[in-house]
Amino acid sequence: MKQVDVPVLICGAGGCGLGLTILLADLGVHSLAVERNAQTTDHPRAHILNTRTLEIFRQHGLADEVYRQGTPTAGMERISFRTSLGGDGPLDRQLIGNLDGYGGGALRARYEADSACRATNLPLMQLEPLLRAAAEQRAPGGTRFHHELVSFEQDEAGVTSRIHDHDSGEEYMVRSRYLIAADGGKTVGRALGAEMEGPRHLRKMVNTYFVGDLSSWIDDDGVLIYYFINPDGRGQWAGGGLVKTGPTRWDRHSESWVFMRELSPDDSDEMDEINVVARMRELLRLPESFQPEVRKIGRWDVQGVVAKKYRFGRVLLAGDAAHRHPPVSALGLNTAFGDVHNLAWKLALVLDGQAPDALLETYESERQPVGARVAEWALHGFRMRSLIDQSIGLAPGQTEANRKAFERLYSDTPGGATARAILAEAMNIQRIGPQAHDMEIGYAYEHGALVPDGTQLPARDPMAGIYYPVTRPGSRLPHAVLERAGRCLGTHDLVRPGAWTLFCHRARWRAATRAAANVTGIAIDVVVIGGQGDYQDVEGSWKRLCQINSGGAVLVRPDTHVAWRSKDIPVRPAAALEDAIKIALKR
């Protein structure tokens, strides 16, 4: 049987697997990604790409094309809760509430101060072809669709995997140093017996991708997602929802949409291409003349699980293979990109012999707590959804009582005023979904490829709306605007893929960095800010955020997380920097 030898085998070439392929290629690491499906996905599925993901894409030259294809900021300012989209009855087309989201509306100034990147909305069926094209350009021959990993065995030196080529019917072996599971938990994790903690089967989701003209009933081009609670329905949370999916228009004239419906686990109602249009029209109060073209129906169970372990010898889990949770705050695919951003540079150093295999232990110690926190957060948000129904006074199956509850809500009476005030409180807590700014960029690593400096973990906003930038080791590098030769650059723009970066104020660090680089073999860029440095802090943002004195320095890893900082210049700066790198890399 033919054997292929490759440093890294990736099982799965969805968003997570393709992302890892690209990042490894940019670091000079040869990989092979095998995907059992013949093509990229034909369903929108995940769609919101948050600030942190766009920072990663920007570092690797992908952001411009994602922004070009994705939703402009003006098209994703808020989410809106309504009774229906159409209809002319007294309770039709009533506003339940709006929420700014994803850096839009009143959130914009804060989000723009914290990052050079804004969120966008690009359905996975458009994102995956973009990533595939980039992967095939940067790693020719490195992705094989319609090739399925059938089995694998690992030993002390590597992993031997059996791959089935569905086109030719042939099988071949792949020998790799490491195997990365980016398969959504479908194959590798099950074979490993990876234990997933958390609740399952919380809801059944039915997402219908369709083409249709809704422009006659849309009155707000800034809404990305609509949620509907029908007064005549069963009182179930968000009886349905709509998200626009473009692909070229991102206003009321969006050519395609996804209709979202949540069903209880014991609900016997099965949606199919025949009845889904009728259900959609019923919920949204649309006329018979609305005849959308159903392209795809996707079904999945809502769960909130995370793997107890991310590493099993030479096999590592990433993305949905490691964590699966409700789509609250759109943290699924975005967390997957965070996984591979953390993993890629570590694999590169280990494979190049610049770091021991022990460095890969830090992938689990850093990312598993993030996955667990994201799953916990999403479950909180999922549970909070029922508060809207409760605040209005809705109950499943109580059609007449539910209608009266809505009539009271919109009545000009003291009871109506109280009902609206209670609803406003319930709506406010729904910000846990679209305003989770700190969940997106504020996560920090406590134990891993870093040198703790003895400082306490700073307080974080428990509702995750406010991000507090810090340079404490393990934290994401704060965004600050610097100027060089009349050109403004963000601090993240100065961290190259695969390179470490030292941010400091004194040119004396240059010689120390060269000495440390010579000893460790690690590429380190130096950014001297202020004084005689190459970069000027004209807005004072770095001074405000750096948390070091004029002689100090901040060492940043290739994934833009802080590895080490010194508040003042050490007596022997080269030795201190050398020691920091060795400790971070587990040498």
Residue 538 is part of a domain; what is its CATH number? 3.40.30.120
More confident residue, 298 or 126: 126
Q: What is the pLDDT of residue 1?
A: 87
CA distance 62 to 55: 10
Q: What is the pLDDT of residue 236?
A: 45
* High-pLDDT (> 90) share of the chain, %: 88
pLDDT at residue 265 is higher than 60 = no
pLDDT at residue 75 is higher than 70 = yes
Residue 53 within a domain: no
Mean pLDDT computed over 321-348: 96
Q: How many domains does the chain have?
A: 3
| Pair 539, 475 in one domain | yes
| Pair 466, 579 in one domain | yes
| Pair 269, 415 in one domain | yes
Q: What is the pLDDT of residue 271?
A: 64
CA distance 240 to 300: 15
Q: For residue 135, which phi and psi values (nearest 5 degrees)?
A: -65, -45
| Pair 153, 28 in one domain | yes
Q: What is the pLDDT of residue 235?
A: 40
> Considering 361, 380, 399, which residue would you say is the last residue of a domain?
380
Mean pLDDT computed over 118-142: 97
> Considering 332, 354, 380, which residue would you say is the last residue of a domain?
380
Residue 22 within a domain: yes
**Can you give the CATH number for the domain in which 426 is found?**
3.30.9.10
**Residue range 421-446, pLDDT digits in tens:** 999 999 999 999 999 999 999 999 99
**Residue range 205-251, pLDDT digits in tens:** 889 999 999 999 999 999 999 999 988 765 443 478 999 999 999 99
**Residue range 358-407, pLDDT digits in tens:** 999 999 999 999 999 999 999 999 999 889 999 999 887 788 888 999 99
* High-pLDDT (> 70) share of the chain, %: 97
Burial tier of 249 (Cβ tally within 10 Å: 0-12, 13-18, 19+): middle
| Pair 472, 526 in one domain | yes
| Pair 332, 206 in one domain | no
Residue 312 within a domain: yes
Mean pLDDT computed over 542-568: 97
CA distance 487 to 323: 41
| Pair 27, 115 in one domain | no
Average pLDDT, the chain: 94
Q: What is the pLDDT of residue 101?
A: 94
| Pair 117, 86 in one domain | yes
| Pair 264, 249 in one domain | yes
pLDDT at residue 299 is higher than 70 = yes
Contacts of 550 (CB under 8 A, 6+ apart): 505, 506
| Pair 417, 549 in one domain | no
| Pair 279, 402 in one domain | yes
Residue 55 within a domain: no
Q: What is the pLDDT of residue 18?
A: 98
Residues of the domain holding 148: 3-46+123-198+306-380
Residue 58 within a domain: no
**Can you give the CATH number for the domain in which 37 is found?**
3.50.50.60
Mean pLDDT computed over 283-302: 91
| Pair 132, 265 in one domain | no
pLDDT at residue 123 is higher than 80 = yes
Q: What is the pLDDT of residue 267?
A: 60
**Cβ–Cβ under 8 Å, residues 540 and 113:** no
Residue 205 within a domain: yes
pLDDT at residue 269 is higher than 70 = no
